[in-house]
Amino acid sequence: MIQITNLTKKFGDFVAVDNLNLEIKAGDIVGFLGPNGAGKSTSMKMITGFLEPSSGEIKINDKNLKAAPIEIKQKIGYLPEGAPAYGDMTVLQFLSFIADTRGLKKAQKKQKLQEVVDKVELQSVLNRQIDNLSKGFKRRVGLAQAIIHDPQVLILDEPTDGLDPNQKHQVRALIKNLSKDKIVIISTHILEEVSAVCNRAVIIAKGKKVFDGTPFELQSKSKYNQALNVEFEGQLPDISQLKLAPGVTDVVQRTDTMISILSHESYGNIFPQIMDLIHLQGWSIKAMYNEQGQLDDVFRELTQEVA
């Protein structure tokens, strides 16, 4: 379990992280979201013991990070932003060095190396210098070094940044397949990633926490959550009638041929009555469906309130 209380980090006058409180339990896969410069990386650097907080406290498994840094660092796996690695080493040398620092020895070390190489699929580049690897492979080497000792806490700073869609999928599957009693913290810009892998989303902006809940809750904050979208065949007809239908609070034109009908919560599903109305008017439509909500909008709303 990670407990973060009143965590603050200042660089001169600039407050990077402002009184952050967070409690993360085993099994949580936390998506750490926020605009650039919101303090995501700074927070992660403090949790991993790279930066000292200006004030506040970080406890991992009820142990204070300040009091037992080495002991806690043993339990953490960390992929720093950009996946830095010693470029003059080969992949195998590098992973072997990391295994040594993690205190893995002989048979156990060999086994763990084998496991991690299989998991992240590095067989083909084991004896190549890291400097000569593609971005995707470099990122995977970074990931491998973070999980080699099967850490209780895994902290990944933008693990899928710069990867192609296949590689992204692979990394997400890898994170999902980690055992269920671990803590995973992932920072990302990609909102879909949060719904895809995380069971908890935390948004920070200007160093402050502005949202903490499930990705589903995040989605339901969108004004388009449960909105009914109608795509018309060809030109948009006169839709003023729709606004007058019972339960409808607003009709928003989203594109040239598509509208969203927002309804009042108490009305439940307005699908049938809108369907009837469209029939009555003789409009030809292409599609009609309920929307889950636009994460982008929620994200923008939440992070701009602070700005």
The answer to the question of residue 74 lying near other proteins (CB under 8 A) is yes
Residue of 159, 162, 210, 196 lying closest to 41 (CA atoms):
159
Residue 56 near other proteins by CB under 8 A: no
Q: From the list 48, 188, 225, 294, which residue makes contact with other proteins (rule: CB under 8 A)?
A: 48
Residue with Cβ nearer other proteins (16 or 227): 16
Quickly tell me which residue has 């763990």 as its tokens.
Answer: 112
- 8 Å CB contact between 227 and 260: yes
Residue from 27, 103, 234, 268 in contact with other proteins (CB under 8 A)? 103
Selected from 1, 15, 26, 51, the binder of other proteins by CB under 8 A is 51
Taking phi over 0 as left and psi of -120 to 50 as alpha, with beta for the rest, 133 belongs to beta
Q: How far is the CB of 68 from other proteins (least distance, A)?
A: 11
Q: Does 73 bind other proteins (CB under 8 A)?
A: yes
Q: Provide, rounded to whole angstroms, the least separation between the CB of residue 14 and other proteins.
A: 13
Q: Is 237 in the site for other proteins (CB under 8 A)?
A: no
One-letter amino acid of 239: I
Biggest alpha carbon–alpha carbon distance for the chain = 77
Is residue 3 a contact residue for other proteins (CB under 8 A)? no
Select 69 or 268, whichever has its Cβ closest to other proteins.
69
In angstroms, the CA 77 to CA 148 distance is 8
Least distance to other proteins from the beta carbon of 155, Å? 9
Minimum CB distance to other proteins, residue 102 (Å) = 7
Residues constituting the chain: 307
Q: What is the DSSP string of 206-255?
A: TTEEEEEE-HHHHHHTSTTTTPEEEEESSS----HHHHHSTTEEEEEE-S
What is the contact surface with other proteins in residues (CB under 8 A)? 45, 48-51, 69-71, 73-74, 76, 78, 80-82, 84-89, 93, 97-98, 100-103, 129, 145
